């Protein structure tokens, strides 16, 4: 029974990643990470964003995303829950979205409209959250 739940969870997370990847051709990588920044699921159009990073640097990148979301939860009572975080670099844009105990990290090409992207991705996550949460909690 546990193997079936794990498989179903993986399928749901894979579908979520694929749905996000389909939003725009500028999105290159969608990763679901746990609280420690470890990759649970990954879908990519192209791995240009992280291909030149050694494994340790990739792990550090995703750990940083996880830490940023985690630390933001300290202010939930005062400001409400975090919808997403956004970071723009010269060569890429990185979004992080909370997903139950995990996080969705989206890496895209630079020069996108962050609010529009953030809202589109948030809508997809919210639409799928109920199904994913049921599988995760079981």
Residues whose CB is less than 8 angstroms from the CB of residue 126 and which lie 6 or more positions away in sequence, other chains included:
none
Q: pLDDT at position 15, please? A: 92
Q: Per mean pLDDT, which range of 94-98, 127-131, 132-136 is the poorest?
A: 132-136
How far apart CA 96 and CA 83 sit, in angstroms, is 9
Q: What percent of the chain has pLDDT over 70?
A: 88
Q: What is the CATH number of domain 2-137?
A: 3.30.450.30
Q: What is the pTM of this model?
A: 0.86
Q: 27 forms bridges with which residues in the sheet?
A: 108
Region 1-14: mean pLDDT is 73
Of 93, 49, 87, 42, whose CA–CA distance to 67 is shortest? 87
Q: Which pLDDT score is estimated for 72?
A: 87
Residues 6+ apart with CB under 8 A from 22: none
Domain ranges of the chain: 2-137
Does pLDDT of 137 surpass 70?
no
What pLDDT does 2 receive?
A: 58
d(CA 52, CA 50): 6
**pLDDT tens-digit map of 20-71:** 999 999 999 999 999 889 999 999 887 676 777 788 888 899 999 999 888 8
């Amino acid at each position: 029974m546990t193997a079936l739940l794990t498989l179903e969870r993986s399928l749901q997370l894979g579908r979520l990643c694929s749905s996000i990847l389909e939003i725009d051709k500028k999105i290159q990588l969608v990763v679901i990470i746990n609280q420690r920044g470890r990759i649970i699921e990954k879908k990519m159009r192209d791995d240009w964003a992280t291909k030149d990073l050694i494994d340790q640097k990739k792990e550090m990148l995703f750990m940083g995303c996880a830490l940023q979301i985690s630390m933001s939860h300290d202010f939930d009572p005062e400001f409400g829950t975090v919808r997403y975080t956004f970071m723009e670099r010269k060569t890429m844009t990185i979004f992080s979205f909370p997903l139950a105990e995990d996080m969705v990290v989206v890496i895209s090409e630079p020069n996108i409209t962050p609010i529009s992207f953030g809202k589109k991705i948030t809508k997809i996550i919210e639409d799928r959250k109920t199904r994913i949460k049921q599988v995760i909690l079981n």
